[in-house]
Structure 1
Amino acid sequence: MKNFQVSEDIVSLSDFKNQASKMLHQMQHSQRPIIITQNGKPAGVLISPAEFDLFSERSRFIQAVQGGLGDVAQGRVVADEDLDRVLDEAPMV
């Protein structure tokens, strides 16, 4: 995702309502998020579906890594040799 441009990518909710189609097209073309304000304060961020999918994938990956690091810290690990033995003994499905 590209960095947003304050002069173009921050819009009020009323402006977004009036120009939603144009702004969606602009967002997809520029690949920048649109920050929507309400009463002068940030209220939401609009990103493309592809960017949302990328953020979701990255979040799941980071959670998995943190979970693995937590397992290591708690001693919930298996030695390579033990894992090899268990896998060799497991029935093939």
Structure 2
Amino acid sequence: MSRVHLDEDIRPLSEFRAGIASFVKQIHDTRRPMVLTQRGRRVAVLVDVQEYERMKDRLELLEEIYKAEEQIASGAGVAHQDTKARILNKLPR
């Protein structure tokens, strides 16, 4: 995902309400998130659907890696040679 451009991608909520279609088009075209503010405070971030799906996929992968690292650290991992032998034994010959 592209980084937020401070001069283009941070907008007041009231401005967003007045021009939703153009804001959605900007988000889709630039693939950059947009930060909405209310009374000068950040209240929401809008992202393109494809970018959101990519972020979700990456997060799921990172969570799996983190879980695997925890399992290895606790001794619950399986050695490469053992795994290879198990797989090869199950393949038809």
TM score, norm. by length of structure 1 = 0.84
Which residue of the partner structure matches residue 77 of structure 1?
77
CA deviation profile, 1:5-46 (whole Å, cap 9, x unmatched): 222111111110110001101111122111100111000110
Matched AA of 2:33: P
User: For residue 82 of structure 1, what is the amino acid of its counterpart?
Assistant: D
1:38 is the counterpart of 2:38? yes
* Number of the residue aligned with 1:2: 2
Are positions 1:19 and 2:19 aligned together?
Answer: yes
Instruction: Quote the offset at 1:88 in angstroms.
Output: 5.6
Partner of residue 48, structure 2: 48
**Distance (Å, rounded) in 1 between the aligned partners of 2:5 and 2:84:** 53
Gaps of 5+ in 2: none
TM-score normalised according to structure 2 size? 0.84
Matched to 1:62, the amino acid is L
1:61-72 correspondence to structure 2 within 5 Å: 61-72=61-72
Amino acid in the other structure paired with 1:76: A
Q: Secondary structure, in 3 states, of the residue corresponding to 2:8? A: helix
CA distance in 2, matches of 1:73, 1:20: 49
Q: Percentage identity across aligned positions?
A: 24
Amino acid aligned to 1:68: A
Structure 1: give runs of 5+ residues left out of the alignment: none
Distance 2:79 2:9 in 1: 52
- 1:21/1:71 CA distance change after superposition, 3 Å: same
